[in-house]
Amino acid sequence: MGLEVFKCKVPSINLSFFVCYNLICGGLFEVPLDCFSFARGLDEKKKTTDKGIEYWMGRDLMPLLAYVDWRNFGGVVQRAIAACASGNYNPQNHFVETDEKVFIGSGAQRDRGDWYLTRLACYLIAMNAESSKPEVGHAMTYFAAQTRRQEIRERQLTDEEKRVQLRLRVMDNNHRLAGAAKAAGVIRYPVFQDAGYRGLYGMSLAEVRARKKLLPSEDLLDNVGRLELSAHDFKTTLTEERLRRDQVRTEQRAIDTHRNVGQEVRNVMVRENGIRPEDLPKEPSIKRIVQKQRKAIKHGRTK
C-alpha cells in the first residue's frame, strides 16, 4: 500500500473553532508555550508526495506530542484509527503502516515500524492523545484550524462559532498587545491590563467580575457576548497601534494609553448604543460550549 491512497479528501470538520479554542487557552487561560514555534516544528516535519499531498511520519510526530515510547504512541494511533472508522471514513486512506530498516550495531539491521499519516490522521491522533500535554493541545489547534481554515471562511457560522472565533481573535490580539507593551517598557503587566479594564468599564477587573457574578474559576472573556468581545478586540488592537505609532517607551505612558483607549471605546458604546459594557449580561461559558462540542467530535457526532 502506497501513498497514493492519500487521494481521499480530508472531510469537513465543522467544529474546528471549538477545538482551537479549547486547546489554545484550555477554556480559561492563555498558554505560555509558543504555539507558533510549535506550528513551525510541525511544518518542518511535513512531507509532500509527488502529487502534492501533505503527510507526516509517525516517528516524527511522536516526539512533537511529547511521547517517548513507541508502544504508547501506537496505542494512540489505534484509537485514532477506530475514531476514523466510526466517523465513516476509510482508515486506509489516512493511516498507512510501514517498516524501515535501521542499524542496531555491528552492521546488523532490524525492522522498525512507522506510519504515513494524512492531516486528518494527525488530527485524530491529537484528539486521542493525552490532553494534559500542552504539545497535544497545540497539535490539535494546528491540524484542526489550518486544515479547515478555508471551509470556515466559506460556510455560514453559527452564533456560537462566531463568538468563539471572536474570542480567539481577542486572545491573539492580547498576545500582540503584550509584545507591544513589553517594547514600550511595561514591567507591571497586571497593572497595565487593569488600566484597560478601568478605561472600558470604569472599574477594576475584580469589580467587573463581582458585578457580573462570575465564579472564581470563570474567565471574564469566556463569559461575555459578541458585543462585549468586540469592544475588547477594538480596545486591544487600538492600544497596540497607539503604543507603536506614538513610540511609547515608558511604563506609565503605556498604562495611561491603555486606560485612555479603553475610555474611548466605552464612550463609543454609550454614545452609539446607550449601553455600558458592565451592564451587559453574563453569557454561557465558552468553555462549556467547547467541551460539549469536543465530546460530539470524539463520538463521531459532528453535524
pLDDT at 3: 47
| 274 within some domain | yes
| 110 within some domain | yes
Query: 3-state DSSP helix/strand/coil percent for the chain, to nearest 5?
Result: 65, 10, 30
pLDDT band at 199 (very low <50, low <70, confident <90, very high): very high
Same domain, yes or no: 82 and 165: no
Measure the CA–CA gap between 44 and 182, rounded to whole angstroms.
29
For 60, 68, 107, 109, 254, the CA distances from 103, given in Å and listed in that order, are: 18, 20, 6, 4, 59
- Residue bearing the bigger pLDDT, 47 or 2: 47
Which of 121, 138, 155 represents a domain boundary (last residue)? 155
Is the pLDDT assigned to residue 162 strictly greater than 50?
yes
pLDDT band at 296 (very low <50, low <70, confident <90, very high): low
Residue 197 and residue 228 in contact, taking contact as beta carbons nearer than 8 Å: no
Q: Return the H-helix or E-strand segment holding 133.
A: none
| 39 within some domain | yes
pLDDT at 15: 36
Report, as an integer, the average pLDDT of 190-213. 96
| 134 within some domain | yes
Range from 85-89, 122-126, 151-155, 280-284 carrying the lowest mean pLDDT: 151-155
pLDDT band at 31 (very low <50, low <70, confident <90, very high): very low
Report, as an integer, the average pLDDT of 183-208. 96
Report the chain's mean pLDDT, rounded to a whole number: 81
pLDDT digits (tens, 9 = 90+) for 69-123: 999 999 999 999 999 888 878 898 899 998 877 666 666 677 788 999 988 899 8
Is the pLDDT assigned to residue 136 strictly greater than 90?
no
| 294 within some domain | no
Same domain, yes or no: 120 and 205: no
- Residue bearing the bigger pLDDT, 29 or 251: 251
Residue 127 and residue 83 in contact, taking contact as beta carbons nearer than 8 Å: yes
Stated pTM of the model: 0.52
| 199 within some domain | yes
pLDDT at 220: 96
Same domain, yes or no: 149 and 278: no
| 174 within some domain | yes
pLDDT digits (tens, 9 = 90+) for 50-84: 877 889 999 999 999 999 999 999 999 999 999 98
Which of 113, 132, 155 represents a domain boundary (last residue)? 155
Same domain, yes or no: 131 and 197: no
Query: For the chain, how far is it from start to end, CA to CA, in angstroms?
Result: 32
pLDDT band at 9 (very low <50, low <70, confident <90, very high): very low
Measure the CA–CA gap between 67 and 65, rounded to whole angstroms.
6
Is the pLDDT assigned to residue 28 strictly greater than 50?
no
Cα angle 73-76-82, degrees, rounded to a multiple of 5:
145
- The percent of residues above 70 in pLDDT, for the chain, comes to 77
Is the pLDDT assigned to residue 151 strictly greater than 90?
no
| 297 within some domain | no
Strand 108-117's sheet: what is its strand order? Answer: 47-48, 54-57, 108-117, 95-105
Same domain, yes or no: 95 and 169: no
Measure the CA–CA gap between 170 and 145, rounded to whole angstroms.
16
How many domains does one find in the chain?
2
Measure the CA–CA gap between 259 and 63, rounded to whole angstroms.
44
pLDDT at 107: 65
Report residue 81 as a C-alpha cell: 484509527
pLDDT at 19: 38
Measure the CA–CA gap between 45 and 61, rounded to whole angstroms.
8
Residue 242 and residue 258 in contact, taking contact as beta carbons nearer than 8 Å: no
Report, as an integer, the average pLDDT of 238-242. 95
Report, as an integer, the average pLDDT of 263-273. 93
Same domain, yes or no: 98 and 192: no
Range of the domain at 264: 159-285
- The percent of residues above 90 in pLDDT, for the chain, comes to 48
Same domain, yes or no: 68 and 170: no
pLDDT at 161: 78
C-beta pairs of 260-263 under 8 Å, 24+ apart in sequence: 260/199, 261/196, 261/199, 261/235, 262/195, 262/196, 262/197, 262/198, 262/199, 262/200, 262/201, 262/235, 263/199, 263/200
